[in-house]
């Protein structure tokens, strides 16, 4: 055999993290969290019922009562979704604002909309009327309302772009920025979106120049997915420069430019731009 002693050496399995360590918010221990649950009037009744100290269950928990249980004194709810934890931490009312803030307002949360915020919370946590609370929280978030005010201009006649037949046959590209300079010296983001699958390619750029955009097009699009038949962009100089046009001609890619002041024509890419801008705001 060609195997040496190193290839035969046993590999230790990665250490298993205690799932409960991921549950508790901030510096709260399991005991502290259990105390917070028992201090909540609504959860206290359910905990006492599960401990056999009460015969009446709070009305809000009667439906699906069999899914609640205690583990080391902490109230949990069974979860049957394969994409989430096998049990969810039942959050007392005093700590719900902390969960909402962490998974919506925190810089790593990105001020995402209702559906995504709710989905992130439901990966680990549960409480009664969760959907209503998330709806109210997102709708009353000042940052979201300031940045996501719907346009007041009436919509015109629909002129849809013909859908492509295969992935990366037709893509949209845009240049986003400038942002504050990162530690790596970047302050632009080039974005490319496939019009069929909505798969996106992005790259941070220091200057947002035509050379950088052209290199991104070759490396991230052509070499990974094949040359697209159609590229949709605005009329920015990075896309209309001779270098970019030469590469598009060589790759036999037709370049369609949006009309001035109408970025909606490249709406799929603009939608991703808005999401990225919101998350970086």
In CATH, which superfamily holds the domain spanning 170-280? Ribonuclease H-like superfamily/Ribonuclease H (3.30.420.10)
- For residue 79, the model assigns a pLDDT of 87
Q: Is the pLDDT of residue 93 over 90?
A: yes
The CB density around residue 17, as the number of other CB atoms within 10 Å, is 8
- The sign of the torsion formed by the CA atoms of 102, 103, 109, 113 equals negative
Number of Cβ within 10 Å of residue 201's Cβ equals 19
Virtual torsion, Cα 211, 212, 218, 220, nearest 10 deg: 180
Which distant-in-sequence residues (6+ apart) come within 8 Å of 80 by Cβ?
A: none
pLDDT in tens, 128-148: 999 999 999 998 988 887 776
Instruction: Confirm if 23 and 124 have CB atoms less than 8 A apart.
Output: yes
**What is the pLDDT averaged over residues 173-190?**
91
Among residues 236, 227, 240, 170, which one has the least CA distance to residue 198?
170
Residue at token pair 């096998």:
86
Residue scoring higher pLDDT (163 or 131) = 131
Exposure on the CB side of residue 89, measured as CA atoms within 13 A? 25
pLDDT, mean of residues 194-219: 94
Q: How much is the average pLDDT of 72-101? A: 88
**Structure tokens, 224:** 């990974």
In this prediction, residue 106 carries a pLDDT of 83
Alpha-carbon gap, residue 189 to 191, rounded angstroms? 6
pLDDT over 80 at 157, yes or no:
no
* pLDDT for residue 24 is more than 70: no
Enter the DSSP assignment of 61.
G
Is pTM beyond 0.75? Reply is no
The two three-digit tokens of residue 67, written as one number: 């899914």
Mean pLDDT check: name the lowest of 13-17, 25-29, 81-85, 251-255.
Answer: 13-17
pLDDT computed for residue 149 by the predictor:
56
pLDDT at 94 over 60: yes
Identify the band that residue 16 occupies on the pLDDT scale cut at 50, 70 and 90: very low
Judged against a pLDDT cut of 70, whether residue 7 lies above it is answered with no
- The architecture that CATH gives domain 19-146 is Orthogonal Bundle (1.10)
| Residue 86 near residue 103, CB atoms below 8 Å | no
Q: What DSSP string runs through 83-133?
A: TS-SEEEE--GGGHHHHHIIIIISTTTTT--HHHHHHHHHTTEE-TTHHHH
Res. 154 pLDDT band, cuts 50 70 90? low
Phi first, then psi: give them for residue 217, nearest 5 degrees: -60, -45
Whether residue 17 is predicted with pLDDT greater than 50 in this model: the reply is no
The span from the CA of 205 to the CA of 184, in Å, is: 9
Mean pLDDT of the chain: 83
| pLDDT band, residue 177 (cuts 50/70/90) | confident
The residues spanned by each domain of the chain are 19-146, 170-280
């Amino acid at each position: 055999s060609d195997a040496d002693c190193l290839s035969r050496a046993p590999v230790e399995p990665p250490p298993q993290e205690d799932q409960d360590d991921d549950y508790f918010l901030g510096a709260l221990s399991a005991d502290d969290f259990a105390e917070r649950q028992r201090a909540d009037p609504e959860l206290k009744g359910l905990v006492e019922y599960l401990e056999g100290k009460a015969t009446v269950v709070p009305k809000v928990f009667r439906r699906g009562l069999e899914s609640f249980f205690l583990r080391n004194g902490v109230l949990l709810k069974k979860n049957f979704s394969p994409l989430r934890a096998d049990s969810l931490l039942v959050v007392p009312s005093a700590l719900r604002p902390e969960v909402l803030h962490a998974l919506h307002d925190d810089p790593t949360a990105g001020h995402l909309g209702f559906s995504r915020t709710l989905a992130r919370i439901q990966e680990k946590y549960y409480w009664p009327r969760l959907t209503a609370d998330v709806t109210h929280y997102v709708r009353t978030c000042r940052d979201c309302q300031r940045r996501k005010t719907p346009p007041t201009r009436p919509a015109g006649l629909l002129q849809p772009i013909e859908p492509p037949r295969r992935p990366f046959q037709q893509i949209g590209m845009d240049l986003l920025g400038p942002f504050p300079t990162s530690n790596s010296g970047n302050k632009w983001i080039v974005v490319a979106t496939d019009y069929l699958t909505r798969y996106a390619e992005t790259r941070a750029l220091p200057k947002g120049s035509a050379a950088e955009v052209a290199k991104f097009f070759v490396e991230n699009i052509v070499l990974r997915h094949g040359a697209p038949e159609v590229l949709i962009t605005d009329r920015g100089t990075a896309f209309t420069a001779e270098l970019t046009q030469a590469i598009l001609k060589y790759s036999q890619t037709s370049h369609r430019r949006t009309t001035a002041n109408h970025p909606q024509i490249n709406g799929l890419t603009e939608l991703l731009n808005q999401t990225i801008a919101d998350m970086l705001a």
